[in-house]
Amino acid sequence: MSATSPTSPGPTSLVASCHPARRLVADEAAAGSRLPVIALVGRPNVGKSTFLARASHRFIETANAPGTTVSLERQRITVRGRQAWLVDLPGTRALDDEPAADGPFWELLLQAAPDAILVVADAGNLERHLPLALACRDLGLPIVLAANLTDEAERRGIGVDTGRLAQLLGAPVHATCGRTGMGVDGALEDTVRLAGARVAVRDGTSSPRSTVPAPVYPWSLDAKLTAEAGTILDGSPSLGAASVAAPLRVGVLSNVISARGAASIRLAGDLEPVRWRVAADWAAQVERQRDVPRLLVDRLARWATSPWPGIPAFIAISLAAFYAVITVGGWLAAILGEAWGATVSPFLVAAVPAIVPIPLLADSLLWALDGGVLGMLSVGIPYVLTFYLLLAVLEDSGYLTSAAVLMDRVFGVLGLPGRTAIPLLAAAGCNVPAIYGTRVLRTRRERLLGSFLITLTPCSARSAVVIAALAPYAGVPAAIAAFAVVGAAAVAAGLGANALIPGRQPSLVLELAPIRRPMLGHVLAKAWFRFRSFVVTATPIMLVGSLVLGLIYEAGAWQGVATLIGPSVEQWLGLPAIAGVAIAFAFLRKELALQLLLVFAAIELGRTADLGELMNPAQLFVYAVVSSISIPCIATLAALRGELGARGAAGITVASLALALGVGVVLARLLGIA
Amino acid sequence: MAGSVIVVLARTPLGGPVVVQLGRTRLALSADVAAKVSTAASAAIPEPR
């Protein structure tokens, strides 16, 4: 087996357009190069993405937590000279489940248009995983079962008679371990072979009977399936909602699934209890259990969700992660910043004015090329990379789902599930990846509420502003108090938003991931994969934002802004007008709330900047809190727009601005500066 | 799933989720779901989300 060739298109997302896989199939058929398509299906957290990465020798986003696969990834693989597309689908419990909250799983499966299905199941928990294999088998497509995670099953004393299971299922069964690669090649080889045969069935060069499964259901249910299949083929209006019937009928007519397969989706409510009974019976027949000592990881998993020692451990782990991000991030920031300042920065300062003869443009370009890149090196890269590494370790260990359970009641007050703790923790590093992290939340309401809380969470840049503005001039307790005020405002706003936005949090039924030793390769690859995505997203925004800011500043337009907003800032917040300008420009980059204020202070005072002379401690306190809460930076806004749409992004922006002004006005009154 | 035996492993404070063992699977159930399961011997546990 080998990975995709250098000339192959490589990984491709299938969610960007409607039915792209079907179009791909049509295009390839037209070109006479129809490759079989294999769908990778399994329950969440069973190792599908690791399986795919092992099969294609390419990294795919994986985690020891449900819901890692949020889009369809396909890879071209070659097994013993035969090529095929392998499509990774989100984890699902049943074909009518909605893993991505935008339609049932079977619709995604039809979009992938597979010629065969590789079902990945947990070898240590077949009773729970076989119903999905049966449901896939009912579709009329050839299937292969990979009894995965055999290493974990073995440690728990569980063995599987794969030969007997293959007899019962009427399909090849392979014992596999995605983490080590054991058995993966064999499972893929069988699946590619069967998928190729299926292509031959579609082409009419082979008998379709070779892929028809033997019946396992009672005759009455079997008869009902046959009758329903006839109805689907007839296109009878009695099928019910057209939105369900139409895509099923299209799937049947385009030969993606059989008519009985479509009927099995329609009759899932009748079939599912029978599948569970059959699965329990089969699991009892094929599993071999021997006595083994209880595993340490199982004890750890139990402790992690118990109040004692789970809650103290959660607090300790969270604080340690936060401390590590601040310490390691700060250390990296200093190294990168100094290296940039000593090498590239002097070169740019000399070269740009020489190349660009217009001083205004040259100075503005330096804001982008020197200041903008330095901003990425001193904030984005060190803190975000460190955070991603830690997050990858916590995810791969399986601890995050335990943390989600412990935090569920706390976040439940805000209308959010406990898994919100994951992106919120990310928000302390940078809001942008945290906004993308809200994909772990299932409903739009949860994502809206979660994103709002994230934008109110001080990122590393905003935390730096709060600490640097307050600690030297008002003392460390004042900085801590500012964080407390921001936190209290965020909680109050979250409660208000929960009350105002219609809907309520659904009940929690969460399957807990086992605790596992993180794999170094997974952790590094995962952190790099996300970090690269962050750099690609954030760098252009930082550069363009810095250029715009530079143009405004170098052209002296900031004085006009000061004249415009100055009276309101002085009267309502008790701050000098230039403080309002710094907060407004921090929309481009949050750390500028401090940097720009120092520049303005130097201009205003006519000498080396000293915030202590520009504002008194009370004013600095109000400034730190307002700049921390006020509208998200442009990079966060771009992420919000992408995830929630323009309306959601605008709503959150307006709400955070109103909250910042409200808190600022109250604080200014309480502190006697307005 | 109806009639299955579950073992309560942990209860989180403030009426938070209950962690149960169902066969070889550990599930976290919010208090309302846990109440339904504990008061009706034949109640089916919904599929995890």
Return the pLDDT at A31.
46
Q: Do A310 and B46 touch (CB under 8 A)?
A: no
What's the mean pLDDT in B33-43?
64
Chain-centroid distance of CA A116 in Å reads: 28
What's the mean pLDDT in A396-414?
85
pTM of the model: 0.72
Task: Look at A204-208, A460-464, A470-474, B12-16 and tell me which has the smallest mean pLDDT.
Answer: A204-208
Strand A116-122, strand A37-42: pairing? parallel
Q: Do B30 and A408 touch (CB under 8 A)?
A: yes
Give the model's confidence band at A511: pLDDT under 50 very low, under 70 low, under 90 confident, else very high: confident
Give the up-direction half-sphere exposure of residue A17: CA atoms within 13 A in the CB hemisphere: 6
What's the mean pLDDT in A330-351?
89
Return the pLDDT at A14.
37
Return the pLDDT at B1.
53
Task: Look at A56-60, A315-319, A609-613 and tell me which has the smallest mean pLDDT.
Answer: A56-60
What's the mean pLDDT in A317-336?
82
Distance, in Å, from the CA atom of A97 to the CA atom of A103, rounded to the nearest integer, reads 8
pLDDT > 90: what percent of chain A? 29
**Residue A664, by phi and psi: left (phi above 0), alpha (psi -120 to 50) or beta?**
alpha
Return the pLDDT at A23.
46
Q: Which residue of B has its CA nearest to A123?
A: B24
Most confident range, picked from A435-449, A554-568, A642-656: A642-656
Neighbours of A59 (CB within 10 A): 18
Answer yes or no: is pLDDT of A29 > 50: no
Give the model's confidence band at A592: pLDDT under 50 very low, under 70 low, under 90 confident, else very high: confident
What is residue B43's three-state secondary structure? coil
Distance, in Å, from the CA atom of A201 to the CA atom of A208, rounded to the nearest integer, reads 6
Q: Which residues of B touch A507 (CB under 8 A)?
A: 29-30, 32-33, 46
Q: Which residues of A touch B30 (CB under 8 A)?
A: 408, 412, 507-509
What's the mean pLDDT in A84-93?
86
Give the up-direction half-sphere exposure of residue A202: CA atoms within 13 A in the CB hemisphere: 27
pLDDT > 70: what percent of chain A? 86
Strand A73-79, strand A287-289: pairing? unpaired
Answer yes or no: is pLDDT of A671 > 90: yes
Answer yes or no: is pLDDT of A119 > 90: yes
Distance, in Å, from the CA atom of A48 to the CA atom of A91, rounded to the nearest integer, reads 8
Closest partner residue to B48 (CB to CB) among A156, A302, A510 is: A510
Answer yes or no: is pLDDT of A323 > 70: yes
Residue type, A118: L
Please give the DSSP secondary-structure letter assigned to residue A45: T
Task: Look at A79-93, A393-407, A583-597 and tell me which has the smallest mean pLDDT.
Answer: A583-597
Contacts 24+ apart (CB under 8 A), A491-495: A491/A414, A493/A452, A493/A453, A493/A456, A493/A655, A493/A659, A494/A414, A494/A415, A494/A416, A494/A449, A494/A452, A494/A453, A494/A456, A495/A413, A495/A414
Answer yes or no: is pLDDT of A655 > 70: yes
Contacts 24+ apart (CB under 8 A), A11-20: A11/A56, A11/A58, A11/A60, A11/A73, A11/A74, A11/A75, A12/A73, A12/A74, A13/A71, A13/A72, A13/A73, A14/A71, A14/A72, A14/A73, A14/A74, A14/A87, A14/A111, A14/A112, A15/A71, A15/A72, A19/A111, A20/A111
Q: Which residues of B touch A (CB under 8 A)?
A: 1, 9-17, 19, 23-30, 32-33, 45-49
> Most A CBs within 10 Å: which of B20, B21, B26, as the mutation test of the A interface?
B26
**How many Å lie between the alpha carbon of A65 and the closest alpha carbon of chain B?**
12
Task: Look at A8-17, A29-38, A220-229, B9-18 and tell me which has the smallest mean pLDDT.
Answer: A8-17
Neighbours of A419 (CB within 10 A): 28
What is residue A359's three-state secondary structure? helix
Answer yes or no: is pLDDT of A449 > 90: yes
Beta partners for residue B29, in sequence order: A509, B18
What Rg value do the Cα atoms of chain A yield, rounded? 29
What's the mean pLDDT in A218-228?
89
A99 neighbors A80 (Cβ within 8 angstroms): no
Answer yes or no: is pLDDT of A456 > 50: yes
Q: Do A306 and B10 touch (CB under 8 A)?
A: yes
Return the pLDDT at A206.
66
Distance, in Å, from the CA atom of A195 to the CA atom of A211, rounded to the nearest integer, reads 10
Return the pLDDT at A328.
86
Return the pLDDT at A12.
39
Distance, in Å, from the CA atom of A345 to the CA atom of A356, rounded to the nearest integer, reads 16
Distance, in Å, from the CA atom of A473 to the CA atom of A469, rounded to the nearest integer, reads 7
Element (DSSP H or E) covering residue B30: none
Q: ipTM for the complex? A: 0.81
Give tens-digit pLDDT for A273-300. Answer: 999 999 999 999 999 988 888 888 888 9
> Most B CBs within 10 Å: which of A152, A156, A512, as the mutation test of the B interface?
A512
Average pLDDT value over all residues in chain A = 82
Answer yes or no: is pLDDT of A40 > 70: yes
Could you give the strand order of the β-sheet that contains A116-122, starting from the edge strand earlier in sequence?
Answer: A12-13, A73-79, A82-88, A37-42, A116-122, A143-148, A173-175
Answer yes or no: is pLDDT of A582 > 50: yes
Strand A158-160, strand A287-289: pairing? antiparallel
Give the model's confidence band at A577: pLDDT under 50 very low, under 70 low, under 90 confident, else very high: confident
Q: Do A511 and B19 touch (CB under 8 A)?
A: no
Task: For A574-643, give the DSSP string.
Answer: ---HHHHHHHHHTTT-TTHHHHHHHHHHHHHHTSS--HHHHS-HHHHHHHHHHHHHSS--HHHHHHHHHH
Select the more confidently predicted residue: A413 or B41: A413
Most confident range, picked from A3-12, A237-246, A248-257: A248-257
Answer yes or no: is pLDDT of A492 > 90: yes
Distance, in Å, from the CA atom of A393 to the CA atom of A387, rounded to the nearest integer, reads 10
Q: Is A437 buried (19+), middle (13-18) or exposed (0-12) by CB count in 10 A?
A: buried
Is-cis flag, bond preceding A346, omega within 30?
no
Return the pLDDT at A11.
38
Give tens-digit pLDDT for A357-389. Answer: 999 899 889 888 887 787 777 766 777 788 788
Task: Look at A145-149, A662-666, B31-35 and tell me which has the smallest mean pLDDT.
Answer: B31-35
Distance, in Å, from the CA atom of A159 to the CA atom of A157, rounded to the nearest integer, reads 7
Work out how many CB contacts closer than 8 A connect A with B: 96
Give tens-digit pLDDT for A529-544. Answer: 878 877 777 778 778 8
Element (DSSP H or E) covering residue B20: strand B18-22
Q: Do B13 and A311 touch (CB under 8 A)?
A: yes
φ, ψ of residue A506 to 5 degrees: the values are -70, 160
What's the mean pLDDT in A543-547?
80
Element (DSSP H or E) covering residue B10: strand B6-11
Residue type, A122: D
Return the pLDDT at A160.
95
What's the mean pLDDT in A447-471?
86
**How many Å lie between the alpha carbon of B13 and the closest alpha carbon of chain A?**
7
Separation in Å, CA A445 to CA A72, A366, A438, A502, A637: 24, 42, 11, 8, 18
